[in-house]
């Protein structure tokens, strides 16, 4: 069972590393002009709306992801058997990571457009 826990931690660490690789790859693609930059320059209303949506995504999803981890761990995962708990823990960690990745990539895109 300890082997499964170690494997789970390695998988979650790899997914977290992929998170950062995606963000850095986005920056590199925009900086090297592979992805178009400045398409919203001069359109103040569109810039304002996109930046507001980015702020709202960040303000909503980050606290929600932190709260979900607390709720899922205390209410649900502790009641399961160990093999089921590992699967559930991985699923909730991946959901939380996706909730953190969405505002990061969206705001990165808004910054460069």
* Structure confidence by residue, pLDDT tens digits, 29-58: 999 989 888 887 888 899 999 999 999 999
Alpha carbon distance 19, 34 (integer Å): 20
* Structure confidence by residue, pLDDT tens digits, 45-98: 999 999 999 999 999 999 998 888 777 666 677 788 888 888 888 888 899 899
Helix (H, G, I), strand (E, B) or coil at 1: coil
Alpha carbon distance 10, 76 (integer Å): 23
Residue in the structure block whose two tokens are 């979650």? 12
Residue in the structure block whose two tokens are 């502790």? 78
* Of 97, 20, 112, 23, nearest in space to 61 by CA: 97
pTM for the full predicted model: 0.83
Q: Which are the contacts of 21, defined by CB distance < 8 A and separation ≥ 6?
A: none
| 57's tokens | 């995504």
């Amino acid at each position: 069972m300890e082997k499964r826990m170690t494997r789970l931690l390695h998988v979650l660490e790899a997914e977290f590393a992929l998170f950062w690789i995606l963000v850095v790859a986005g920056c590199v693609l925009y900086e090297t002009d592979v992805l178009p930059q400045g398409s919203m320059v001069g359109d103040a209303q569109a810039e304002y709306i996109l930046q507001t949506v980015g702020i709202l995504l960040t303000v909503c999803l980050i606290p929600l992801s932190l709260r979900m981890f607390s709720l899922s761990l205390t209410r649900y995962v502790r009641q399961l058997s160990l093999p089921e708990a590992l699967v559930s823990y991985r699923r909730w960690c991946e959901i939380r990571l996706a909730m953190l990745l969405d505002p990061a990539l969206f705001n990165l895109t808004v910054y460069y457009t």
